[in-house]
Amino acid sequence: MSTPSTEEHWSDHAICRGADPDLFFPIGYSASILKEQERAAKRICGNCPVVSDCLTWALRVGEPDGIWGGTTPEERRRLRREAEAPARRRLPVIMVRGDVPVGADAA
C-alpha cells in the first residue's frame, strides 16, 4: 500500500482552484458568451502565481481543451507550432539579369 504524498504541486497554489470549472471550460450558445467566459478566466490567470507552471504543463501534455496558463486551445496550438518550427534564416539575394537592385536610381 502506498502512502499519500505530502509534496506540493504547482496546482496547489493556483488561484483557479476555488473558481467554477465551467469558467475555464466554456460552453456557450454564442460567440459573445464564449469570449466573455474566456476573458473572465484569463483575468483570473493574470493574477495567478503559478500561471507559467500551468502553461508549461498544458503545453507539455498537449492539453486540448480549456483555459490553461492564460491561453486558449488555439493559442497553445500556435505556441507549440512556433516552438517546433525550424529557425528562419535570411535567404541570399539572387540577382537575375535585368533586375534593378533595390535603392538604385532608375535611369
Integer Cα distance of 73 and 49 in angstroms: 21
45 is in an annotated binding site: yes
Does the CA dihedral 15-17-21-25 come out positive or negative? positive
Does the CA dihedral 34-66-80-45 come out positive or negative? positive
44 is in an annotated binding site: no
48 is in an annotated binding site: yes
30 is in an annotated binding site: no
Residue 90 and residue 79 in contact, taking contact as beta carbons nearer than 8 Å: no
* Sequence ranges of the binding site: 16, 45, 48, 54
Which amino acids are annotated as binding site for [4Fe-4S] cluster, given as ranges?
16, 45, 48, 54
